[in-house]
A = this chain, B = another copy of it.
Amino acid sequence: MRQFLAITGALADEGRVRTLLALHRRELCVCQITELLKLATSTVSKHISILRHAGLVEVRKDGRWIYCRLSDRQPSAMARQAMQWVQTSLQRDPRARDDQKRLKAILKEDPEDICRRQMGKSPCCSSARETPAAAR
- Chain A residues within 8 Å of B, Cβ to Cβ: 1, 4-5, 8-9, 11-14, 17, 77-78, 81-82, 85-86, 88-90, 93-96
Contact = CB atoms under 8 A, between A and B. Distances in A.
B9 A12 contact: yes
* Smallest CB-CB A-B distances: 5 pairs: A8-B11, A8-B12, A12-B12, A78-B89, A9-B12
State the oligomeric state as a number of copies: 2
Given A11-B8, A12-B8, A17-B1, A81 B88 contact: yes
A94 to B, nearest CB: 8
A interface, by DSSP: helix, strand, loop or mixed? helix
Given A12-B9, A81-B85, A90 B1 contact: yes
